[in-house]
Structure 1
Amino acid sequence: MDVAPAPGTLPYYEDVSPGTGALPPRAWWSVSDARRLNLGGAWRFRLSATAEAEDASFARPGFDASHWDVLPVPSHWPLQGYGRPAYTNVRYPFPVDPPHVPTENPTGDHLRAFDLPDDWPGGAAVLRFEGVDSCARVWLNGEELGTFKGSRLPVEFEVGERLRPRGNVLAVRVHQWSSGSYLEDQDMWWLPGIFREVTLIERPEGAVCDVFVHCGYDHATGLGTLRVDCTPGGTLTVPELGLDIPTGAPVIVPVEPWSAELPRLYDAELATEGERVPLRIGFRTVAVEDGVLKVNGRRILFRGVNRHEFDPDHGRVPDQETMRRDLLLMKQHNVNAVRTSHYPPHPAFLDLCDELGLWVVDECDLETHGFEEVGWRGNPVDDERWTPALLDRAARMVERDKNHPSVVMWSLGNECGTGSGLSAMAAWIRRRDPARPIHYEGDLSCRDVDVYSRMYADHAECELIGRREEPPQADPEADARRRNMPFLLCEYAHAMGNGPGGLSEYQRIFETYERCQGGFVWEWIDHGLRHRTADGTAYFAYGGDFGEELHDGNFVCDGLLFPDRTPSPGLLEFKKVVQPVRIEGDAERGLVTVTNLHDVADLSGLAFGWVREEEGVRTDHGRFEVPALGPGESARLELPLMPREVTAGAEAWWTVRAVLAEDTAWAPAGHEVAWAQFAARKRQGGRVRRGAPHPARRAEGGVVVLGPGTFDAASGRLKYLGGSLVSGPELDVWRAPIDNDRGMDWYPQGQLEPKWRALGLHRMRRRVVRVSVGGDVLTVATRIAPAASDLGLRVLHSWTAAGDRLTLQVRVEPEGDWTLPLPRLGLRMGVCPTLDRVRWYGGGPGEAYPDTRAASRIGRYEAGVEELQTPYVRPQENGARADVRWAELRRTDGSGLRVDGAPPFWLTARPWTTEALDAAAHTHELTRGDMLWLHLDHALHGVGSHACGPEVLPEFRLTAAPAAFGFTFTVLRPAPEESL
């Protein structure tokens, strides 16, 4: 019978305790010789609007649920058509009234009938839930097992005596809101449900109750220490080490250590009287020594990412294949570390980290960020009534994950303010596992931690911290303690939309200062949920797309991967910036310097080659023999001699690459790990073409004809080029604002979009000052300026023509006191939309901006216009190619337009206008127009990471200043398409 709580008491889902009935937490292992029964699959499901709408009769034997719906488990019910997802970053989507939750509390009743296999041995068994959001009450065959909270942590119940051979019924009531929700205010979708596996596990007499593998490595002697504690006792065998020892007995043996770069594991087996459990053991020691975090005696540098578990169709229900795919992508893009933001991941993910090699900061399922909105009043981490729940969460994380060598640090949680509850968690963890340092970012006193961690500290502050010269704290003792700690950025380089910028400058700091040990980009993947329009067009939805009362828009889309796991330009930039080999060229002296930036590995696993190109065309290639340099070591290599037969005036480049010499577990041989490019010979001038100058002449119809160009005589605008209709080119300063232009209020000077709009840069007006025809030159003087302002830009266009070419020289002079940077400075031009193949010589293959151009290399490239678009979940400025010398736009018959720039320019080609891009909220709202729009930019403003981080660095701000640049336009006649 379901009994209502007594007056004055709270229902279990509002009680601050962690729950009732559960077994003590223990280590996780994926397989053993004990039987397991997966209870996932089709469950009967009923959704109620409140926690008390239905009684508990559904859990009684014989209850008829045949009329209920069917729901897959694991899953989130809002993604199965029951209710709707909701996204908030900081704010709780319910009143802050702890521990109470709204009466409107979606509650899902789940039923699963199952039979035991015929050979199920009987006896003790446990029912294990890997993850249920946010509170559950469980019955088996009508008997209540207990209740639990802690959504992303496991819980087990003893059920052996309650099992039947046939007709078992498991009933689970899940509440979306509970007191536990106050502890789970992570920046993510609110998605209730049984979202991880449910498993029945046999527990034979004498089975393993728990196991703790203690491993260490002495880098001075090469010896490993091993002790395996087990309840009950048993034996441990490690065949490769010749070990067959009792549990609890310490041994010291020569071993190869485990690291993220060389993830050496030893297969072992733990045997007790009732169970055999395979183990994979990695020997490594983590320590903070002399203010530096070291593993196996070596300083490590985190080239890390924050990773939420996410799938665009299933939410926090990634399968094994998706988890492995994530890790392969990380390794292939030089990521070496993961912070499990902001909860322990699926336990199988850590097995993969052990196997493939990543440093892991394992974070507890704890965040109370929404209390910041009320001045941290009532914050559970500073209220002793909540401490048992905090300790329960810490224990369930540590006990589950303690045997993973990849876990090198425990994190208490995220954005919880400060309080005694965090101190209690830290003290418990130190007693249970003193071999790992403790992390927490939110307390500048660093009283409970072993590392100094910050979020989004800008470059200048990081430099001060690196020199241990950061501003002092009021407490001298706490200040001295913090200054002696290693420093890491647990979140930096916010990867929302176009960006993040400034990665190279951060990496220089990490590599310069021993104390600065890297960081974790926020974050790994955009959390866009796949959605469809009425006509079936797919797009990715974000906050507000599901009618949320409160939401934080597309702030949930801030990853290095798009929701479908396609790498973004930001990931490619990150890969280049953090590459573990530095390659520096000196063409004048004919030398290349190679430096090993790995923490542990030498360079024996890499092969090095070089390519020489002229004007983007390969002229020679070969290999380098590079010694097996150890970490930090360098070698100088000689470049081959340049040939005497070179093209006069041609631009030549060297590209040096480091690739995998052999297949690895994460990439095949030939996979590129690092590269560098440097000029062998600078281009002396632009492309030289013959042809007599054409005079400019006025013609009937109010036009001026100049070579292949026809201009409006009154406005000076180019109307036709080679007989084809064009629009422009005209000076343009506006871009569809990127997420980083919107900025955050803790860096108000960087909030550029509202300032740009207030100034009117998105609505500039053009005034024709004069149009003059003189000899071979058409001169057009204009002034562009926004309404209600005396600021302006004077622009002088000087047009000439020779042969089949039309050349434009542009001079720009700002007028007035420009205090804001410009979004861009260049020409916008509309051309025929059938010119949909683009071939260019310059930077590529992907997009680049002034502070995100490390991954752009000079070459010849070709792509369709659609391929040049970067599909950010919220449309914004994208797709620029850097350092373009020339570009050709062609139709299928080979006809088209060529643009040469002097100096090199930024090229962007779009099938829609900037205005359409600016207005669109989702990708499906962008449709092709009746022109193809070219942006031929002399300069661009940087992108930064100001959506949640520093503004654009000063060297990448586009200040309004005098500028001069030019372009030559050539009409291309039909011809067979050239190959690259």
Structure 2
Amino acid sequence: MKDLQKVWENLDVLHLNREAPRAYYIPYANTESARQGKRGKSPFYQTLNGQWKFRYHRSVQEVKEAFYEEAYDYSGWDDLLVPSCWQSNGYDQMQYCNVNYPIPCDPPFVPDENPAGLYIREFNVSGDWKDQAAHVVFEGVNSCFYLWVNGAFVGYSQGSRIPAEFDLSSYVRSGKNRMAVMVLKWCDGTYLEDQDAWRYSGIFRDVYLLARSQERIRDVFYQADLSADYKQASLRCDVESHGIVEVQVQLLDAAGHEVSSSTARVKGKETLRLDIASPVLWSAENPYLYSLLVSGAGEVLHFHVGLRKVEVVDGVFRINGQDIKLKGVNRHDSHPELGQTIPLKHMIQDLKLMKQHNINTIRTSHYPNDPRFLDLCDQYGFYVIDEADLEAHGVLHAGDYHMLTKNPEWEAAFLDRAVRMVERDKNHPSVVIWSMGNESGYGVNHIAMARWTRERDTTRPVHYEGAALKYNGHPDTSCLDMNSRMYATVQELIAYGSDESQTKPLLQCEYSHAMGNSCGDLKDYWDVIYAYPKLMGGCVWEWCDHGIKAESPDGQTFYGYGGDFGDVQNDGNFCIDGLVSPDRIPHTNLLELKKVMAPVLLEAEDAAEGKVRVSNRYDFIDLSDVVMSWKVELDGETVEQGELPSLQTPPHGTEIVTIPYSVPHTAGRWFLNLFVTQRTDKPWAAAGHELTSEQFELPMPASVPAPAADLRVLPDITVEQRDDEVIVEGFDFLHVFDLHAGTFTKITKHGVPLLQGRPQFSIWRAPADNDRKIKVLWSKEGYDRAITKVYRAEVTEVSEKRVQIEVDFALTCNIKLPLLKGKAVWEVDGAGAITLKTSVQVREDLPYLPRFGLQLVMPAGNEQVEYFGYGPHESYIDKRQSVRKSKYELTVDQMHHSYVVPQENGSRYGTEWASVSNALGMGLLFTSLGSEFSFQALHYTPEDMTQAKHTYSLRRRKETIVHLDYKMNGIGSSSCGTDLLEQYQLSDKDMAFELRMTPILTEDE
């Protein structure tokens, strides 16, 4: 097109004819509809969402025709729903990248083969709009676009996740109109939009028309002033007009009663003030909202008002005078089918899940979200770190992390992204921190952004992690109100929290990388965060797995990641790093997070006396709206339960309560379980929703007699050795031990086979995503190829009631020295029980092991699992805050937790006994004889899960694979975070454990 202005590579042009940024609002005709906030009910609003005509070109160079002209025939074009992403509809290339740019790094230039999407939509304009100014708002277009109406060029804009508004008054007419849009995939702004995400294109957020009065309210900015004792408040409302407007501002309380009002004749800008006596303050715990109605020129604008004060005092982050811990997550826009086009209901689903799991903070990583999302955060109660649409991570691999932010030619582009974010979102009480983007170096351009933001809005602090000293950026960080780190170690946090020279609070904007089976370090982090006032909390990376719904070659549905869609440059499954699955099913990571960030802490003051210390970790509300119930279990069975009177524990306060349980009177394992639930319904969960729970083991009084000794008389056995086979036969069992293999080949009871294959010692687990660093060493040493070498196996003792077999063995692999050497002593008694005593020595120079224990395979049909240990879901040495010890009954399938990328899962820490059987109760009972063990029963071997890259390639075996581990290595979060803490590493060089396997035939055994 000859008349096309090629500005997408011009740093001097960020837009053409775009309106100045303003606060987000929709004008309404009256107060009632304005307060309801239903956009479609406004006569001044008209959606342009819906079916558009669309044509995709691999390059803008292919666009030769003047498609925007009124006479152009587009009838042969495709239909495409707006809002949507091209790639979600089969156009262009699905591509996931993390750090690297998906184009050559040659700023500000982009490839000549720049894909273009052409959109055409016809729409009607009501005659009622004849005397009004028509505007069009594009809430989000990736990455830049040109706009024509009725054949005339209107304007150009870039900045993908920030609204672009144009005045169409000179272009539209009553009746039928035609709008044409050309969207380009790349522009110079692409260098500032290198976020860790799928690279989507198109008109992906809402598009709508607004009819505005010729003289109208253009912008509103309110700021609250609170007295020192928070008992008085005033609201300063800055109103900007287009022309001269008689303006009324009115503040209503939540019930709709007027609190204060004021009027003024506004010409340009005026400030109106409203006084508020006995203000109700807004917080994430009590998101009380007033309504600010701004009326003028026949329009009513509505804004949520949350009265709150955000400040940093003596290095401590505070809201409304209270020290606050931000219990947060990072959240990308992500939908498994729609890409970055997020329906309102999907936003609500996310927020409800977050509230249900004790999350109070959201970092909008790494761009402003849909403005309606912030409306919801205002209402549901979240602290939002609103982040500018700015990430230039790709320059890191170009050799200079600061090359764009230190270049004055890019200042306008940087600043534009802060200005448009702040102006749009400035009236949202949920926004408590402005963030100047992510991973883009740090230089004069970031300083310009932060300084402008602080001047424009004095009520919120400013954040930017990229200014950390480790990045060697600009030394002046005075424009930032906090220090920020990603994936700092626990020791680094302790050092910062105890350093008196640090005058700013520290935010972990990213920590505990929730990739796959993860978050094994949460308690370690939060113990430290709670201990030091200057540590203001942090945001787990991240909220959801960014899997894309796809279909395998054999017709199975699965979630794809980088490389699954023909994208050659990709970062694999690094987008599968969330607390919930793509379809919002919580991973156990989220359950762990819920527990460690719970608003109520329960600690044993004196368990023997039933005294429990209740600590209220809410900042603003007492515990009168929670119910605390209790239950006492004996060996996993409930023997007593009750409910306590209402608690009145004040915010940040403690209270000692007494649980009126009966003193244990019989031998066994006694546990006191406490549950804290909601008393009343909330918008995000019904009454009875569990906030947290806790468990204490009750001490046995000295007067309780010890358990009676086992006085059973064991039947006799016969032992026969045939070559390398030792055949042990009893009254109702037959076991066969292979001396050559050093293990059993047959275990039966009443002729029922209970073993398939040979039990063997195992050190390999399917690497979790967090093993991605250490697994290289594991594989180098041959952990995944270990086989058993038997040095000696012989029957050492035989009697009428027992036989004992000793085996000296090693686990070895090709090339390497033996990984470990050990002795196994197997004993079979007259009841058919098999006792194993093992001691091993691990080679000194080896890295820590994934696991060590016994693996055995049970025949098909053994689907029933019962165990006494931690549950009901998976648990590990460093990931067990959200589980409690009891007796659990599940199926083998229920023991499995499905991750998008198959990996280690389903282990149960601290198991004391477990049984695996068929539906009639025929199977094996496994009992610890000393220390507890880690238990796992799945339909997959570690090798199956190691080899599978997707769930559809993970083939469910009919057999049940059982692991009885001396120890399982911790989980951690080191896929992007810190290394697994030493105390959770299986680095033992000398190990010994004992267990017993007993064949069972009935449900009574």
Alignment TM-score, normalising by the size of structure 2: 0.92
CA 942–31 in structure 1, closer or farther in 2 if over 3 Å, else same: farther
Does residue 462 of structure 1 match 2:493? yes
The match for 1:735 among 765, 770, 773 is 765
Q: How far apart, CA to CA, are the structure 2 residues paired with 1:758 and 1:871?
A: 28
User: What's the CA shift string for 1:183-241, capped at 9, x where partnerless?
Assistant: 00010011111100000111024433111121233351422221222223511222435
CA 207–891 in structure 1, closer or farther in 2 if over 3 Å, else same: farther
Contact (CA 8 Å) 1:562, 1:568: kept in 2 or not? yes
Instruction: Please name the residue that 1:250 is paired with.
Output: 273
Q: How far apart, CA to CA, are the structure 1 residues paired with 2:951 and 2:226?
A: 52
Contact (CA 8 Å) 1:611, 1:656: kept in 2 or not? yes
User: What's the CA shift string for 1:538-590, capped at 9, x where partnerless?
Assistant: 11111111222311111111111111111011000000011111101232343
Instruction: Please name the residue that 1:765 is paired with.
Output: 787
Instruction: Please name the residue that 2:35 is paired with.
Output: none
1:700: how far off? Answer: 4.9
CA 550–221 in structure 1, closer or farther in 2 if over 3 Å, else same: closer
2:155 aligned partner, one-letter code: G
Q: How far apart, CA to CA, are the structure 1 residues paired with 2:707 and 2:603?
A: 26
1:498: how far off? Answer: 1.2
Partner secondary structure for residue 462 of structure 1: helix
1:56: how far off? Answer: 5.2
Q: How far apart, CA to CA, are the structure 2 residues paired with 1:950 and 1:166?
A: 62
Contact (CA 8 Å) 1:219, 1:296: kept in 2 or not? no
Instruction: Please name the residue that 1:135 is paired with.
Output: 144
User: What's the CA shift string for 1:644-677, capped at 9, x where partnerless?
Assistant: 6x432x1010011111011111111111112110
The match for 1:919 among 935, 947, 950 is 947
Contact (CA 8 Å) 1:358, 1:406: kept in 2 or not? yes
User: What's the CA shift string for 1:825-871, capped at 9, x where partnerless?
Assistant: 11111111211222222111111111111111112222222222222
Q: How far apart, CA to CA, are the structure 2 residues paired with 1:109 and 1:813?
A: 69
Does residue 778 of structure 1 match 2:801? no
1:803: how far off? Answer: 5.0
Instruction: Please name the residue that 1:2 is paired with.
Output: 2
Contact (CA 8 Å) 1:13, 1:175: kept in 2 or not? no
Q: How far apart, CA to CA, are the structure 1 residues paired with 2:416 and 2:768?
A: 42
The match for 1:715 among 729, 736, 741 is 741
User: What's the CA shift string for 1:349-398, capped at 9, x where partnerless?
Assistant: 10111001010000000000100111227832222122112222111101
The match for 2:578 among 559, 578, 583 is 559
Does residue 532 of structure 1 match 2:562? no
The match for 1:236 among 225, 243, 249 is 249
Instruction: Please name the residue that 1:473 is paired with.
Output: none
Q: List aligned pairs for 1:882-961, cutoff 5 A.
A: 882-902=909-929, 903-961=931-989
1:95 aligned partner, one-letter code: P
1:972 aligned partner, one-letter code: I
Does residue 493 of structure 1 match 2:521? no
Instruction: Please name the residue that 1:452 is paired with.
Output: 483
Task: Figure out how many residues of one structure are paired with residues of the other and give that number.
Answer: 951
The match for 1:542 among 526, 551, 561 is 561
Does residue 523 of structure 1 match 2:535? no
Contact (CA 8 Å) 1:35, 1:201: kept in 2 or not? yes
The match for 1:504 among 504, 516, 523 is 523
Instruction: Please name the residue that 1:124 is paired with.
Output: 133
Partner secondary structure for residue 629 of structure 1: coil
Instruction: Please name the residue that 1:603 is paired with.
Output: 623
Q: List aligned pairs for 1:321-332, cutoff 5 A.
A: 321-332=345-356
Contact (CA 8 Å) 2:464, 2:480: kept in 1 or not? yes
The match for 1:26 among 2, 14, 22 is 22
Instruction: Please name the residue that 2:993 is paired with.
Output: 965
Partner secondary structure for residue 619 of structure 2: coil
1:4: how far off? Answer: 5.6
Q: How far apart, CA to CA, are the structure 2 residues paired with 1:31 and 1:877?
A: 54
User: What's the CA shift string for 1:466-496, capped at 9, x where partnerless?
Assistant: 1126xxxxxxxxxx6xx20011100000111
CA 630–686 in structure 1, closer or farther in 2 if over 3 Å, else same: farther
CA 514–151 in structure 1, closer or farther in 2 if over 3 Å, else same: same
CA 166–588 in structure 1, closer or farther in 2 if over 3 Å, else same: same
User: What's the CA shift string for 1:786-805, capped at 9, x where partnerless?
Assistant: 33222432232222234544
Query: How big is the alpha-carbon RMSD for the aligned residues of Structure 1 and Structure 2?
Result: 2.1
Q: How far apart, CA to CA, are the structure 1 residues paired with 2:106 and 2:934?
A: 53
The match for 1:639 among 651, 659, 663 is 659
1:602: how far off? Answer: 1.4
Q: How far apart, CA to CA, are the structure 1 residues paired with 2:598 and 2:4?
A: 61
Q: How far apart, CA to CA, are the structure 1 residues paired with 2:170 and 2:598?
A: 56
Contact (CA 8 Å) 1:2, 1:56: kept in 2 or not? no
Q: List aligned pairs for 1:803-952, cutoff 5 A.
A: 804-902=831-929, 903-952=931-980
CA 956–40 in structure 1, closer or farther in 2 if over 3 Å, else same: same
In structure 2, runs of 5+ residues without a counterpart are 30-42, 265-270, 469-474
Contact (CA 8 Å) 2:50, 2:81: kept in 1 or not? yes
Contact (CA 8 Å) 1:13, 1:135: kept in 2 or not? no
Q: How far apart, CA to CA, are the structure 1 residues paired with 2:224 and 2:712?
A: 75
Could you tell which deviates more after superposition, 369-378 or 685-694? 685-694
Contact (CA 8 Å) 1:196, 1:317: kept in 2 or not? yes
Could you tell which deviates more after superposition, 552-561 or 600-609? 600-609
Q: How far apart, CA to CA, are the structure 2 residues paired with 1:113 and 1:848?
A: 57
CA 276–20 in structure 1, closer or farther in 2 if over 3 Å, else same: same
Partner secondary structure for residue 833 of structure 2: strand
Contact (CA 8 Å) 2:461, 2:481: kept in 1 or not? yes
Does residue 657 of structure 1 match 2:667? no
Q: List aligned pairs for 1:84-483, cutoff 5 A.
A: 84-117=93-126, 119-218=128-227, 220-232=229-241, 234-240=247-253, 241-246=258-263, 248-253=271-276, 254-376=278-400, 379-444=403-468, 445=475, 446-468=477-499, 483=502
Contact (CA 8 Å) 1:818, 1:960: kept in 2 or not? no
In structure 1, runs of 5+ residues without a counterpart are 470-479, 743-750
Could you tell which deviates more after superposition, 654-663 or 220-229? 220-229
Partner secondary structure for residue 242 of structure 1: strand
Partner secondary structure for residue 582 of structure 2: coil
Q: How far apart, CA to CA, are the structure 2 residues paired with 1:284 and 1:157?
A: 34
CA 944–461 in structure 1, closer or farther in 2 if over 3 Å, else same: same
Alignment TM-score, normalising by the size of structure 1: 0.94
Contact (CA 8 Å) 2:230, 2:320: kept in 1 or not? no
User: What's the CA shift string for 1:166-190, capped at 9, x where partnerless?
Assistant: 3211111011111010000010011
CA 705–224 in structure 1, closer or farther in 2 if over 3 Å, else same: farther
CA 37–129 in structure 1, closer or farther in 2 if over 3 Å, else same: same
Could you tell which deviates more after superposition, 488-497 or 791-800? 791-800
1:372 aligned partner, one-letter code: L
1:100 aligned partner, one-letter code: F
2:880 aligned partner, one-letter code: R
The match for 2:776 among 754, 769, 773 is 754
Q: How far apart, CA to CA, are the structure 1 residues paired with 2:249 and 2:353?
A: 35
1:913: how far off? Answer: 1.4
Contact (CA 8 Å) 1:805, 1:968: kept in 2 or not? no
CA 575–377 in structure 1, closer or farther in 2 if over 3 Å, else same: closer
Could you tell which deviates more after superposition, 338-347 or 787-796? 787-796
CA 63–219 in structure 1, closer or farther in 2 if over 3 Å, else same: same
Contact (CA 8 Å) 1:410, 1:436: kept in 2 or not? yes
Could you tell which deviates more after superposition, 109-118 or 275-284? 109-118
User: What's the CA shift string for 1:893-929, capped at 9, x where partnerless?
Assistant: 3333322223221111121211111011111100123
